[in-house]
Chain A
Amino acid sequence: MAVTGGVLLLYVVAHMAGNLKVFAGADSIDGYGRFLREFLAPVLGHSGFLWVVRAVLLLAVVLHMTAAIQLARRARKARPTGYAHRARVPGGYAARTMRWGGVIIALFVVYHVLDLTAGVLNPHGVEGAIHDNVVADFRHWYVVLAYTVAVVALGFHLRHGVWSALRSLGMGSARRAAAVQAAALGVAVLITAGFLSVPYAVLFGFVR
């Protein structure tokens, strides 16, 4: 869980940072897209690097989901009879929404790949015209809303996920607990804000 989550986190950080190129103009982001396709092309062929990344991501997602399903099934087996009176589960909102939050993010990724990678759900949908595709998307409030829901869900997922992963790896006993806490919150806020900056910049006309 912690290791596959870590791989996905690295991807999300890189992706978020790459998206910020939208603010540097159409050439910058479209060029970045071409760069990713040509990167290591002599060795891996056109888009080869991209396919390697996709394969690693897919493997990480599958293993991450497998671990989550195993945990959920063990939890159900460990408490076959529930409580008649259910108190609100103590512990944070982020911790309580890990499973459903994960499902929301997974569904979003499917939609998102069909939207901006395959282009089939994109109002513009021209391959390689990343900037125009993104702008065509986020002129619509409902697309922005869908992205907002997913990114906020991702923020909560990371808030608990990063914290829990660091502790699963044995960090955060007493002395470092505060640092681990701060790191998790920092990562979550940074990722959420970074991702959301693009749709809202388009919606409010800063990027056109």
Chain B
Amino acid sequence: MRYTLRVWRQTGPDARGRLVEYAVDGVTPDMSFLELLDVLNERLLLDGDEPVAFDHDCREGICGMCGLVIDGVAHGPEKATTTCQLHMRHFDPAVPIVVEPWRAAPFPVVRDLVVDRSALDRVIEAGGYISAPAGAAPDAHAVPVPKPAADTAFDAAACIGCGACVAACPNGSAMLFTAAKVTHLGLLPQGQPERHSRAADMLRTQDELGFGGCTQTGACTAVCPKGIPLDTIARLNHDVLAAALRSPR
């Protein structure tokens, strides 16, 4: 099958980019979207052109490295699916596909479809951890964790930090990402000592990095490959408010 792609090409962070049209032949329905780009790149290399730069690593939907805005939707049209797990059978060969990088001021374009998402690491550094004395691993049953808390924390921990929530948010907010971490750690006993300061610090850092403010549009959850629910944001707000009320700093 032949597909037509319109791909964002940009030679460097400060260069002007533009959409370039390519026809890609020999695509099969069970190829992933990244394999489609592989096919394109092989041809570009043979023709002596620059291949399209794009991020990826595991190609099995767990590392969070891949991420493209496909026809205006982060990670493309399939629900709860990363770009690497998105297959060509979901696309009509007759319709050109537009491929763009994540668009957000804190995610500058490095080249073509690759953006620098280190801003999310800065948010984690602000509180996405627990402070515990390192030593021998404690016994697994030393700290009891209620089953519902464990389940909800585990679901929130499924966030792979891909940044699709930011890419999709009309406000360019990283709220769902931050809320996933705050929910994950704030529900577990080990996360309690820093629970409220964590939420406040991570949110403040996120704002300082230039992410937008959350207005709860729900666009993030709609594209999240891990189905992180919007409820996590209510929990984040709860902890931020508690931080403001309890410890006037």
Q: Which residues of A contact B (CB under 8 A)?
A: 70-71, 74-75, 77-87, 89-92, 95-96, 98, 160, 163-164, 167-174, 177
Contact of A75 among B8, B71, B213 (CB under 8 A): B213
Asked if A170 and B210 make an inter-chain contact with CB atoms under 8 angstroms apart, the answer reads no
1/0 per residue, CB under 8 A from A, across B200-228: the answer is 00000000001111011111001100000
What is the CA–CA distance of A83 and B242 in the complex, to the nearest angstrom?
37
Taking A83-B69, A92-B218 as known contacts, 19 extra A-B pairs with beta carbons closer than 8 A to each other, sorted by chain A number, are A71-B213, A75-B212, A78-B210, A85-B69, A85-B72, A89-B217, A89-B219, A90-B168, A90-B219, A98-B215, A160-B216, A167-B237, A168-B237, A170-B234, A170-B238, A171-B234, A173-B231, A173-B238, A174-B229
List the 4 closest pairs (A to B, CB-CB), nearest first: A170-B238, A78-B172, A87-B72, A90-B222
- The residue from B105, B223, B229, B232 contacting A90, defined by CB atoms under 8 A apart: B223
Measured between C-beta atoms, what is the minimum distance from B172 to chain A in Å? Answer: 3
Q: Which of B19, B104, B171 contacts A71 (CB 8 A)?
A: B171
Q: Determine whether B103 belongs to the interface, using a CB cutoff of 8 Å to chain A.
A: yes
Chain A positions within 8 Å of B104 at CB level: 78-79
Q: Is the CB of A95 within 8 A of B217?
A: yes
Closest chain A CB from B9 CB (angstroms): 12
Q: Does residue B152 face the partner (Cβ distance < 8 Å to A)?
A: yes
User: CA separation between A82 and B104, bound complex, in Å?
Assistant: 9
The residues of B that contact A75 with a CB separation of less than 8 Å are: 170-173, 212-213
Q: Give every chain A residue within 8 A of B73 (Cβ-Cβ).
A: 87
Quick one: which of A70, A81, A87 contacts B71, CB cutoff 8 A?
A: A87
Contact status B170-A89, CB under 8 Å: yes
Q: Report whether A174 and B152 are in contact in the complex, using a CB–CB cutoff of 8 Å.
A: yes
Q: Is B239 an interface residue (CB 8 A)?
A: yes
Q: Is A167's CB under 8 angstroms from B233's CB?
A: yes
CB pair A169–B241 under 8 Å, yes or no, is yes
Could you tell me the distance between the alpha carbons of A96 and B98 in the complex, rounded to whole angstroms?
24
Q: In the bound complex, do residue A95 and residue B172 qualify as a contact, i.e. CB atoms below 8 Å apart?
A: no
19 intermolecular pairs with C-beta atoms under 8 Å apart: A71-B171, A71-B212, A74-B171, A74-B213, A78-B104, A78-B171, A79-B103, A83-B100, A84-B6, A85-B69, A87-B73, A89-B219, A95-B217, A95-B218, A96-B217, A163-B216, A167-B237, A172-B231, A173-B238
Q: How large is the interface on B (under 10, 10 to 19, 20 to 34, 35 or more residues)?
A: 35 or more
User: Who on chain A is nearest to B209 by CB?
Assistant: A78
Residues of B within 8 A of A87 (CB): 71-73
**Pairwise interchain contact B212-A78, C-beta atoms closer than 8 A:** yes
Q: Quote the shortest CB–CB distance from A90 to chain B (angstroms).
A: 4
A85 touches B239 (CB 8 A): no
Shortest Cβ distance from residue A71 to the other chain B in the assembled complex, whole angstroms? 5
Q: Is B106 positioned at the interface, with any CB of A under 8 Å from its CB?
A: yes
Chain B, range 154-203, C-beta contacts under 8 Å to A: 168, 170-173
**Nearest chain B CB to A174 CB, angstrom units:** 5
Q: Which residues of A contact B105 (CB under 8 A)?
A: 77-80
* Minimum distance in angstroms from B75 CB to a CB of chain A: 12
Known A78-B173, A85-B98, A174-B152; judge A91-B211 contact (CB<8 A).
Answer: no
Residues of B within 8 A of A81 (CB): 103
Q: How far is the CB of B186 from chain A (nearest CB, A)?
A: 10
Question: For the complex, is B56 an interface residue (Cβ under 8 Å from A)?
Answer: no
Q: How far is the CB of B236 from chain A (nearest CB, A)?
A: 8
Q: How far is the CA of A160 from the CA of B217 in the complex (A)?
A: 9
Whether B218 contacts A90 by the Cβ 8 Å rule is yes
Say whether B59 faces chain A, with CB atoms less than 8 Å apart. Answer: no
Interface flag for B117 (CB, 8 Å): no
Q: Which residues of A contact B237 (CB under 8 A)?
A: 167-170
Whole-angstrom distance between the Cβ of B171 and the nearest chain A Cβ: 4
Q: A173-B235, A173-B238 are in contact. Are A78 and B219 (CB under 8 A)?
A: no
> Hey, which chain A residues are within 8 Å of B231, CB to CB?
172-174, 177
Whole-angstrom distance between the Cβ of A91 and the nearest chain B Cβ: 4
Q: How far is the CB of A176 from chain B (nearest CB, A)?
A: 8
CB-nearest residue of chain B relative to A160?
B216
User: A78: which B residues are within 8 A, CB to CB?
Assistant: 104-106, 171-173, 210-212
